[in-house]
Amino acid sequence: MSLLEIRGLEVRYGGIRAVKGIDLEVGAGEMVCLIGANGAGKSSTLRAISGLVPTAPGAVRFDGGDFAGIPAFRRARAGLVMVPEGRGVFARLSVEENLAMGAYVRADAEVQPDRARVFEIFPRLAERSRQTAGTLSGGEQQMLAIGRALMSRPKLLALDEPSMGLAPIAAQKILQVIRDINRSGVTVLLVEQNARSALALAHRAYVMESGEITLSGEARALLADPRVREAYLGEAAG
């Protein structure tokens, strides 16, 4: 059984059908990426999965349960945690306080060790633990957004373009860390513009165009697929 199962998912904004009945699965332990051009419907798909836009019964199932009508905060409590595009850290709070926000629903004794683990993954955050988040660089804010999500102990971490706006080295670093997080046992669904890096790291991938899934398979196979190379990796056909 898949941890996340999407069946016939549609997302509409008034008369616009942004997602046109897609199927997608993420198995426990997998790292799956969703790639596609601007406006293809990737963010809308993630919004539907995390509960920010409504969906029909049966369209989003997680850990065996139907998520229709379940609000976003309950989905997060059930282990489906999203890191939204644009990071969304609390700019006026310190790094430590932002991490504490990620653990606010928890009352267990593991919060401190989890925070120590986040600081191990992101030593830069440990160095800046008392700094306000708004003064961090873009890459550091992205680390903090991921660290905060980890503090809620996700089963599935859904990330919307974590490398966006970062310099190439910082973008690579973030994607590598996401791969490490996946290796540590967290299932990952990654939406990325940076198709080459995402496909190099993920197990499987889906390609989205105009609200539909047009290709899917092993990430390595897609990396070698001429249609993907031409459309998303900037390589000429032939």
Per CB under 6 A, residues contacting ligand ATP are 13, 16, 18, 36, 38-44
Which residues have CB under 8 Å from 29's CB, separation 6+? 182, 185, 187
Amino acid, single-letter form, for residue 221: A
Query: Could you tell me the smallest distance in angstroms from the CB atom of residue 76 to ligand ATP?
Result: 20
Query: CA-to-CA distance for 21 and 10, rounded, in angstroms?
Result: 5
Of residues 17 and 229, the one with the C-beta less far from ligand ATP:
17
Query: Could you tell me the smallest distance in angstroms from the CB atom of residue 157 to ligand ATP?
Result: 18
Query: CA-to-CA distance for 196 and 171, rounded, in angstroms?
Result: 12
Are the beta carbons of 178 and 146 closer than 8 angstroms?
yes
Are the beta carbons of 40 and 209 closer than 8 angstroms?
yes
Query: Could you tell me the smallest distance in angstroms from the CB atom of residue 209 to ligand ATP?
Result: 9
Of residues 95 and 189, the one with the C-beta less far from ligand ATP:
189
Of residues 42 and 61, the one with the C-beta less far from ligand ATP:
42
Query: Could you tell me the smallest distance in angstroms from the CB atom of residue 18 to ligand ATP?
Result: 3
Of residues 42 and 115, the one with the C-beta less far from ligand ATP:
42
Are the beta carbons of 157 and 149 closer than 8 angstroms?
yes
